[in-house]
Structure 1
């Protein structure tokens, strides 16, 4: 009797749903909470077989049926008529002759956990979609800003620019003339919370020294001879809430360096001839093609200002150190100027090869200017190496004897389709080999597997890297 009382207490007060059946599958006992899980009162279940209840899809599937069939402990996931998700575990009880005399099943309602899991997976999918959209947006911004980020170096820089853009930290762009420091500065602004405000660019080397202070600080009416009677706001004021980009910061006169430092420290500006200091809130971005640390040692640039500017230094590599970008940049500018001048110029593959192997002392600016010149001055729609101002006589005439010309001369050479396809394939592989450093990068460029690239390089006798 005591054992019966204990069993009844366990069944009644257990947090799990318990179902006890005999060796024939007839339900003997159920816990009261079965109504919540299976939607049926205990009185409905007791006396019926688990086979019948499985047919009615009350237990779907029935773990007790599985235990009776497999004669071992079993676990199944059930879905009830009222849509609940249940994990049921069935345990067989044997007599001395190894016959099953009871099956005890424990059911855990996992509906809430399943819902949370589904919500989490949906959230993960949404986050992945958002991340993809953000990356696409970043690529679009890069494209809109004429930034090519194919080379590994440029990809790192572009990611850094996007990370830093979200802060208000001062950024110092370093690099040779023509690498596109101003383009990155603009992209930094466009990716910031100040994007709706002004982006003001000042070339410190282009403003006459005697006008620099009045241009930067502004002046009150009648402050000096020739001054506008109404006065004029300076660049610091106009950049309020926005971004101020000081290009060629190394050209800033020493006396103006002191005043710039004061503005950065106090965040206030006083016009020439004025008495009232006005608060200003702008993000400072600077750029230079000079070695500021060396200038500091030479006492040509203030050390305290250097440290103010050098919060986040970002060095943009010259074009000769990111040759992977030359092909994309050349075609971007070619397309741009074709549209501008209503032309249909194309680059011969030998021309692309020559562009890639050129050192580009003027960097991206030189490439842009060259593409504009070629679109305007080349007589034919195809731009050949001899149109390039830096091409040697050997390079200029090389396309006539080199395999690069096969695309335009298949019909004159009497090639079959198969022969022409082989020549095209070799052409593209040679081009990729010259443009990229590894077979992995070549495979990405060509849109094939790395193993395919290795096999084809060997097939055509092109040295792999």
Structure 2
């Protein structure tokens, strides 16, 4: 019995339908012999012409189970099997005519290509997901379709809060300051912009339009790269260049290994030291006051080294050493073209250079009133604006101010702002003069003496009489004067033993005047001793020294022997 339509028009119609189908179609009769096979099935089974007609289907498909459908009369749907080496999905259905089972039809779908595309899709999804750049995809309506893990990590936004949301709404809610996707939707071309994410992080985003076969915009794929780190590196490089320019200039850049040490035996400085240790770990502003040369810079260094900022910059700025017309640009920096003569690249200011570190503002009383206002704003708002700039920059600095003047009197005279004073003097530390702490004089002398001997690679000593003379001196220049004096003696006195006669005359004169037991004979003797020492140091022999002094050689020898003996018994 034939299972094909008998009407020629119907046969032609069914033939066209079956031939045009993408899936393979095979029809067998009740004897499992092939009656019909469309082009897709012929291509799959690699048969030509009509050599297939009347053949048993198992001859072409050995693992065919069409006979089971013919015998049992039940359809088989969605069975996976391999046909001619290709993965296929097969549906089998029995055919009836007038209630009699006359054959069966198989619909074969080649799924090997689908698996291939599915694998490619999975690979593409993996590539997108594991890209180090953030990927953000929106459709032609500006609705978020997909974001990858890198985007989540860069921005801190979760895909669940973005997918399905319109870019305009996300901008309104503050997720982005601007949207490259909306710009691409409008201009239909590739666009790159700098985007601010959540008001915290800078990213560079590039939107790429994707067009369909008809040239219509289908979606926008945006790549996102975090440039915050690059900006940080650029800022650090700018700081490094600025450091190199100002090193050894009128500013002091903190670096370890100097002779700047806190040396003391006196209870006064012990009290100062303990207070410094107590307040240093906190970011509080500190005002150091005391006479010039007492060691305010040393204490400021100590404050920095005892704080959490010790690995960050320490910059000392002498407010009285910079011309007033330059001070503002030096402190606050300026943008490119801010004024005539400005660098075309702009300039980072010293305060900005010290970000996250410590700034010592020495001689703070010399700061002009106009700049006092700007400094107060920096301390209050913790941000700075360069000259000619429009955007404030966040700034985290700790201020240690220092002065040898009475700021309270300057406030009364209208020369210093009271509000700035209270901002600077959250903690006020007074450093006494060296004359008020005589216990520190000899330890400081010994410290600097040893330091300069090491630095200049000389081997010298200082007599106890010299130390005693230095202890009795009033030190109007304080520790700075002491340090300079010790260095002077190390380099200018040829003798290996520094004696009182080697001290500057004004020190000898003062220490003699301070000694109420000193007689005229003793003073004449001291002058004679100093004169003879100076002449002996200039000559290689005592005989030549005696000739210059106009005394007998034996007389000179006796005098020096007597002085040496007095020194040994003294």
Alignment TM class, shorter chain as reference: 0.5 to 0.7
- Are residue 251 (structure 1) and residue 366 (structure 2) matched? yes
Looking at structure 2, the residues matched to 224 and 410 of structure 1 have their Cα atoms a distance apart, in angstroms, of 74
Q: Which residue of 2 aligns with 1:369?
A: 484
Question: Which residue of the other structure, out of 206, 213, 216, is the alignment partner of 2:331?
Answer: 216
The aligned runs of 1:55-66 (5 Å cut-off) are: none
Q: CA deviation at 1:386?
A: 1.8
Q: What is the aligned counterpart of 1:147 among 262, 274, 283? A: 262
The yes-or-no answer on 1:182 pairing with 2:285 is no
1:203 is displaced (CA, Å) by 0.3
Distance 2:445 2:524 in 1: 18
Q: Give, in angstroms, the shift of residue 395 of structure 1.
A: 6.5
Question: Secondary structure, in 3 states, of the residue corresponding to 2:374?
Answer: helix
Q: Which runs of 5+ in 2 are unaligned?
A: 1-255, 513-521, 530-559
> What is the Cα deviation at residue 145 of structure 1?
3.3
Deviation at 1:272, TM superposition (A): 0.7
Q: CA 1:161/1:142 → structure 2, altered by over 3 Å: closer, same or farther? A: farther
CA–CA separation in structure 1 for the residues paired with 2:390 and 2:564? 82
TM (norm. structure 2) is: 0.45
Q: Which of 200, 204, 226 lines up with 2:341 in the alignment?
A: 226
Residue number in structure 1 paired with 2:471: 356
In structure 2, relative to structure 1, the CA distance for the partners of 1:412 and 1:349 (3 Å cut) is closer
SS at match of 1:391: helix
What is the number of residues matched between the two proteins? 272
For the pair 1:271 / 2:386, whether they are aligned, the reply is: yes
- Do the aligned partners of residues 412 and 323 (structure 1) sit closer, same or farther apart at CA in structure 2, a change above 3 Å counting? closer
Tell me what 2:427 maps to: 312
SS of the equivalent of 2:262 reads coil
RMSD: 2.6
Distance apart, 1:412 and its partner CA: 6.9
Q: Which residue of 2 aligns with 1:325?
A: 440
Give the match for residue 295 of structure 1: 410
1:391 aligned to 2:508? yes
The answer to whether the aligner puts 1:168 opposite 2:287 as a matched pair is no
For the residue of structure 2 that corresponds to 1:320, the secondary structure is helix
Contact 2:319–2:366 (8 Å) recurs in 1: yes
Task: Give the superposition deviation at 1:256.
Answer: 0.6
Q: Aligned residue for 2:234? A: none
In the alignment, the residues of structure 1 paired with residue 355 and residue 470 of structure 2 have an alpha-carbon distance, to the nearest angstrom, of 43
Question: Structure 1-normalised TM-score?
Answer: 0.55
- Compare CA radii of gyration and give the structure with the larger one: 2
Cα distance in 2 between the residues matched to 1:169 and 1:248: 19
* TM-superposition CA deviations, 1:273-297 (whole Å, max 9, x none): 1100111011110000000011111
Choose between structure 1 and 2: higher helix proportion: 1
2:313 maps to 1:198:
yes
Q: Deviations over 1:346-366 (max 9, x none)?
A: 111111111001000000110
Write the distance in 2 (CA, Å) between the matches of 1:297 and 1:210.
26
In the alignment, is the contact (CA less than 8 A) between 2:259 and 2:451 conserved in 1?
A: no
Distance 1:240 1:177, change over 3 A: same
The residue matched to 2:355 in structure 1 has which SS?
coil
CA distance in structure 2 between the aligned counterparts of 1:254 and 1:291, rounded to whole angstroms: 16
How far 1:383 sits from its partner (Å)?
1.1
Which structure is higher in RCO with an 8 Å CA cutoff and minimum separation 6?
A: 1
Q: Deviations over 1:145-176 (max 9, x none)?
A: 32112111111111111111111111111111
Paired residues of 2:264 and 2:439 also in contact (CA < 8 A): no
SS in 2 for 1:193: coil
CA offsets 1:168-203 (integer angstroms, 9 cap, x no match)? 111111111111101110110000011111111100
- C-alpha distance after superposition, 1:301-356 (max 9, x if no partner): 11111111111111111111111111111111111111222222211111111100
Taking structure 1 as reference, are residues 239 and 396 closer, same or farther at Cα in structure 2, changes over 3 Å only? Answer: farther
Q: Alpha-carbon deviations, 1:381-438, whole Å to 9, x = none?
A: 111112111212766955999xxxxxx97997599xxxx7xx5xxx6xxxxxxxxxxx
Is 1:345 matched with 2:460? yes
Runs (4+) off by over 3 Å? 141-145, 393-401, 408-415
CA–CA distance in 1 between the matches of 2:348 and 2:564? 69
Aligned to 1:378: 493
